[in-house]
Amino acid sequence: EAGVTQSPRYAVLQEGQAVSFWCDPISGHDTLYWYQQPRDQGPQLLVYFRDEAVIDNSQLPSDRFSAVRPKGTNSTLKIQSAKQGDTATYLCASSLDGGMPETLYFGSGTRLTVL
Amino acid sequence: GQGVEQPDNLMSVEGTFARVNCTYSTSGFNGLSWYQQREGHAPVFLSYVVLDGLKDSGHFSTFLSRSNGYSYLLLTELQIKDSASYLCAVRDDSGSWQLIFGSGTQLTVMP
């Protein structure tokens, strides 16, 4: 079984540039999460979907960040105008709703550096 | 407010044990999970507990006390390769049922 796939692996930007991150979850997993993990901190939820619906995006900076999962499978997270404070690893995870225990399977992440 | 707290660092010796502590304060409770994260890698699921007491899973055991908002992950017969960050995560049962992670405890196992 293939795991969660993310790309790109690394991204380096100047402030003000845009970037998109892509995630392919485990086949059949209906729930998809995007987390931001600054260095030496735990993952912090940005947004999560069940199928194509956004369940919680309350932590997503909506003025610059957006996330979609149009067909309930792959997902894209976009930063419109990056800031130095966005420097972090962006982790995608998927799970099966109702699975016990509900285990999140994480991708390898995209390590973003904003100069 | 809501939060999951863990000590930043922990050191122990190969062949002995290490106890990684976690305290939490959340709006409701629907289970606590532990993840292992090696440097530069994604978190990997280790354990899930929702009932009080000790859950023995061999190399990793997990204790939970819901009344005290406290859990620990116990690693026995430590190996050098157990050096990693250990993340505690609590799922609340209000609103969006999100999983709230602590900042992780960096365990260093010395020879």
List chain B pLDDT tens, one digit each, 111 residues. Answer: 568 999 999 999 999 999 999 999 987 788 999 999 998 888 999 999 999 999 988 899 999 999 999 999 999 999 999 999 999 999 877 666 678 899 999 999 999
User: What was the pLDDT predicted at A66?
Assistant: 96
Question: B23 to chain A nearest CA, in Å?
Answer: 14
User: What was the pLDDT predicted at B95?
Assistant: 64
Q: Do A108 and B42 touch (CB under 8 A)?
A: yes
Angle (nearest 5°) at CA A2 between A4 and B92:
40
CB B103 within 8 A of CB A46: no
Q: Do B48 and A106 touch (CB under 8 A)?
A: no
CB A19 within 8 A of CB A82: yes
* B19 φ/ψ angles, rounded to the nearest 5 degrees: -120, 120
A102 in contact with chain B, both atoms CB, cutoff 8 A: yes
SS3 A100: coil
SS3 B24: strand
Chain A residues close to B44, C-beta within 8 Å: 106
Chain A residues close to B62, C-beta within 8 Å: none
Asked whether residue A100 carries a pLDDT value surpassing 80, the answer given is no
Question: B84 to chain A nearest CA, in Å?
Answer: 12
How many residues make up chain B in this entry? 111
- pLDDT tier at A9, thresholds 50, 70, 90: very high
- Candidates B4, B48, B96; nearest CB to A55: B96
User: What was the pLDDT predicted at B98?
Assistant: 76
Asked whether residue A81 carries a pLDDT value surpassing 60, the answer given is yes
CB pairs below 8 Å between A and B: how many? 54
